[in-house]
Amino acid sequence: MLPRIAGPLGGGLPQLVVAVLAATGAGKLARLSGATRPAALTRAATAFTAVLTLTATMAGALTVFLT
């Protein structure tokens, strides 16, 4: 069983799953558009970081209303 991460939105695992899916999609779209593997990896990493940053920001903003 996975450990439960405390937080106002119920934990960090769903945010990680969404970030991985976004990174996978960004990398695949980059490869389909003709980008090299290093460029596609850079785009995937950027998407992963952006999604994690956005979810952390939203969790922080929503904490005011949910607690």
- Segments making up each domain of the chain, as ranges: 13-66
| 7-63 pLDDT, tens digit each | 555 567 788 888 999 999 999 999 999 999 999 999 999 999 999 999 888 888 888
User: With bands split at pLDDT 50, 70 and 90, how would you rate the model's confidence at 2?
Assistant: very low
In 1-67, which ranges are E strands?
A: none
How many other CB atoms are found less than 10 A from the CB of residue 29? Answer: 14
| Number of Cβ within a 10 Å radius of residue 34 | 8
Task: Quote the pTM value.
Answer: 0.77
